[in-house]
Amino acid sequence: MAQESPKNSAAEIAVTSNGEVDDSHEHGFNRDLKHSLPAGLGLSETQITSHGFDSTKEGVTEAGAYEGGQRTQTKSGPVILADEIKNPAMEKLELVRKWSLNTYKCTRQIISEKLGRGSRTVDLELEAQIDILRDNKKKYENILRLAQTLSTQLFQMVHTQRQLGDAFADLSLKSLELHEEFGYNADTQKLLAKNGETLLGAINFFIASVNTLVNKTIEDTLMTVKQYESARIEYDAYRTDLEELNLGPRDANTMPKIEHSQHMFQAHKEKYDKMRNDVSIKLKFLEENKVKVLHNQLVLFHNAIAAYFAGNQKQLEQTLKQFHIKLKTPGVDAPSWLEEQ
């Protein structure tokens, strides 16, 4: 005989005499639903709660896990994530705070040094080498400007000599009575122009090498020097901060600050020592490279100038071969705009 289905009380809504919904059928529906569930279904209790039409809350269903005949109710609550997901805005705010604090300390250290109130860490030997490097850079830049001026003027002179040689050669063909005289002068100006082009190639090679030394090699070393000076200011700033804290009282409030300041001081001290070592190494290698480069370039410049004004064309060409310098294609009056760039 088939079992009769429990009566669905949700289909009938009883209303009391004053117009309110009668919830007595709700409890009957829950009771009938519990009797209709087979035993051992895995749910020890199922409760369905409904509300009146004027409520905005939905139905809530609670179920407990079946464990050995005992009911264990699972509690729900807000899910709290650990620090795995961080707020990018808070990270940026923290970075700005640290940067502002570090900038304030360094600015205070710089001002105190300029006013003569603060102390600064000085490496006398290293500072002397840095001063010499900066002074030499200014002198090398002056030599570079003068060499570029000489190259420009020599180029104009060679260009004029070539045009003058062409004019003499043209007159040599048209003036029969002065054919030899114009011819001699044309050959002389063309030879001077050719030797001038050879000298111009040597001077431009000298300029390119000195320019690389000054604006790349020395400049790279000076960038490391600037980083070293910034590290020195930070180191002195945190050293001064630690000294001021050590002079104050030591209690439960100040000890965490002192420990944090000691940690920051040690970190910036290691950074300062590393940068000082890097600068010392770069200065050493720069000095070796500078001597080697300038030795070759000065020998080239001297030999080329001496051979040119002595009129020794063979020696001038030999000088360029010695330093593996290739001249531009002869017959070109002026460099193209790509070469000038």
Position 3 scores a pLDDT of: 44
Q: How confident is the model at residue 7 (pLDDT cuts 50, 70, 90)?
A: very low
> For the chain, how far is it from start to end, CA to CA, in angstroms?
105
What does pTM read for this prediction? 0.63
Q: What is the pLDDT of residues 216-244, one digit of tens each?
A: 999 999 999 999 999 998 988 888 888 88
Domain residue ranges of the chain, discontinuous segments joined by +? 140-320
For residue 309, give both structure tokens: 């004004």
Q: How many Å apart are CA 38 and CA 4, to the nearest integer?
A: 14
Coil, strand or helix at 21: strand
Q: How many Å apart are CA 140 and CA 158, to the nearest integer?
A: 27
Position 280 scores a pLDDT of: 94
Q: How many Å apart are CA 189 and CA 205, to the nearest integer?
A: 24
The mean-pLDDT minimum among 123-132, 189-198, 254-263, 327-336 falls in 327-336
Selected from 3.30.413.10, 3.10.20.30, 2.130.10.30, 1.20.1270.60, the CATH number assigned to the domain covering 140-320 reads: 1.20.1270.60
Place of tokens 């429990």: 6
> Left, alpha or beta for 94 (phi > 0: left; psi -120 to 50: alpha)?
alpha
Position 74 scores a pLDDT of: 46
Coil, strand or helix at 96: helix
Contact 198, 317 (CB under 8 A): yes
Position 314 scores a pLDDT of: 87
Residues 6+ apart with CB under 8 A from 307: 313, 315, 316, 319
Who wins on pLDDT, 274 or 102? 274
- Mean pLDDT (whole number) for 272-298: 93
